[in-house]
Amino acid sequence: MSEDNAEIVRRGMEAANRRPKPDFATINDVYHPDHELVTRMSAALEGGSQRGVRGYREYLRNTEETVQPESRLEQVTEIDTDRVLAIVPTRLQGKSSGVTLPEQRLASIVTVRDGKIVRTEVYSSPEEALKAAGLEG
């Protein structure tokens, strides 16, 4: 395992969570052009995942249009040679309604290959993420 993967994930997730808008230059640098983002929202709304840099950008922009996310990267831990667990406590506020949802400790299993983030799977808790990765939370 390499600290490099954890640092790549840290850079990518901090760039995606930067406000008032994501740092797309860094996103383009660390995410593979064929990156796949899998979230509950993308599965429910689009029937699958967001693919490629364009899909990821659209996801980030669509999110910004409907909610005002407030998140911070709490922890990045390598779980095997190419997967990293990232814990990101997140609070969402509806842009039109102003309703704020309680904070959730979202977690992602992020796969890194050849120095690029190739896949991000977002879960509603660290325990759910670890279970999906075949590890106990």
Contact between 32 and 113 (Cβ < 8 Å) = yes
In this prediction the pTM is 0.80
pLDDT at residue 69 in the model: 66
Domains of the chain: 3-132 (3.10.450.50)
**Nearest to 16, CA basis, from 77, 81, 106:** 106
Give residue-wise pLDDT tens across range 2-38: 459 999 999 999 998 887 788 989 988 999 999 998 8
Strands 104-113 and 75-78: unpaired
Sequence-separated contacts (24+) of 45-54 with Cβ below 8 Å: 53/27, 53/28
Distance CA 76, CA 101 (A): 24
